[in-house]
Amino acid sequence: TQLLEQSPQFLSIQEGENLTVYCNSSSVFSSLQWYRQEPGEGPVLLVTVVTGGEVKKLKRLTFQFGDARKDSSLHITAAQPGDTGLYLCAGKYNFNKFYFGSGTKLNVKP
């Protein structure tokens, strides 16, 4: 069961373009994390958002947690080929369980 739905599933863009990926749920999460995963590797934590409405920036990446803590977005400005990867959101649910979305596969072409 996927508690978290991510969109789009696939995204292929040119270097320098901006993009936004979304993570949505009907459930409320106490926190939400974004990871990037490269082929054959484990996910690498990018950010954790905790408060409804919270915005966090990590260089060209901007993360937002929805006011109701049911959704989140990741915006990348001026994408670079090094941003290529699988972007996963994971919500903390019921205190000790993390549920992952199915991911957005991003390809940034030079």
Residues binding another protein (CB under 8 A): 1-2, 4, 6, 33, 35, 40-45, 48, 88, 90, 92, 95-103
Measured from the CB atom, the residue of 80 and 94 that comes closer to another protein is 94
Q: What is the DSSP string of 43-102?
A: -EEEEEE-STT-EEEETTEEEEE-TTSSEEEEEESS--GGG-EEEEEEEEETTTEEEE--
* Smallest separation, CB 38 to another protein (Å): 10
What is the smallest separation between the CB atom of 96 and another protein, expressed in angstroms? 4
d(CA 100, CA 5): 9
Round to the nearest angstrom and report the end-to-end CA distance of the chain.
Answer: 36
Which CB sits closer to another protein, 2 or 80?
A: 2
> Least distance in Å: CB of 16 to another protein?
28
- CB of 78: closest distance to another protein in angstroms? 27
CB closer to another protein, 18 vs 51: 51
